[in-house]
Amino acid sequence: MIQESTYGDNIEYCSASLGKRLANYIIDLIAFYIIIFFAGFIMELAFPGIISAANINGLLDKLLTLCLYGLVMFIIEMVFQGKSLGKLITGTKAVNRNGEIPTINQFLARNFIRAVPFNAFSALGSPCSPWHDNWSDTIVVDEKLLNLQQRKDVFFAELKNKPL
C-alpha cells in the first residue's frame, strides 16, 4: 500500500527522467560486473580452481547473477542511503513515497524485485514507473527537484503561519 506522501502528489513531480534512470542502470551494471570480476579474482587467488570447478549452466548462471545483482545493489543502496554509483553521477536517489530514505525492507524488496522477469521492460513508458519502484513503494527522484520541492513546502508553510 502506498503511504500518503508529505509532498502530496508532488513527489511524482520530482521523479527522475527515463534517460537518467537508463544511465543509472548502465553505470550500475558496469560497476556490478567490475565488482563481481574482482570478487571472482580474489576467490580464485584464495581458493585456486574454485571458479573453473563450478560447472554452472546458462540458466543457473543467469539466476545467480540476478540474485547477486540484487544483493550487491541492496548493500550499496543501504550503505549510501538510496544512492548507487549511477545515482551519484546523475544526481538522483531512491526515496520512499514520503520523500524519505526507504526502510531496510523497502531496499530489500526494491533490489530483489529486479530479478523478476521483464522488470526492465516495466520501466519503459512515460512516466517511468518500474515494478521494483511500485511494489516497494519507492521512487527515484531528481535530487535538485526534490530539494526545490522541499524548499517550496517550507516557504509556503512559513508564509501560512506568518501573522498578517
Cell digits of residue 10: 508532488
Report CA-CA distances (Å) from 76 to 86, 104, 110, 155.
11, 12, 12, 34
Mean pLDDT by 10 residues, the chain (164 residues): 49 87 94 94 88 76 88 96 96 93 95 86 81 93 88 81 76
Exposure of 88 in the CB half-sphere (CA atoms within 13 A): 11
How many residues are there in the chain? 164
Domain-embedded: residue 17:
yes
Domain-embedded: residue 1:
no
The count of structural domains within the chain is 1
Q: Write out the residue range of the structural domain in which residue 152 sits.
A: 8-161
Domain-embedded: residue 49:
yes
Domain-embedded: residue 124:
yes
Domain-embedded: residue 112:
yes
Residue 30: CB atoms within 10 Å: 12
pLDDT given at position 37: 93
Tell me, yes or no, if the pTM score tops 0.75: yes
Of residues 158, 151, 150, the one with CA closest to residue 7: 150
Alpha helices in the chain (DSSP H): 18-46, 50-53, 58-79, 85-90, 104-112, 131-134, 143-161
pLDDT given at position 1: 36
Residue 1: CB atoms within 10 Å: 5
pLDDT given at position 7: 54
Domain-embedded: residue 3:
no
Cell digits of residue 153: 513546502
- Sign of the four-CA dihedral 129, 82, 107, 7: negative
User: For residue 94, which phi and psi values (nearest 5 degrees)?
Assistant: -90, 130
Domain-embedded: residue 92:
yes
Domain-embedded: residue 2:
no
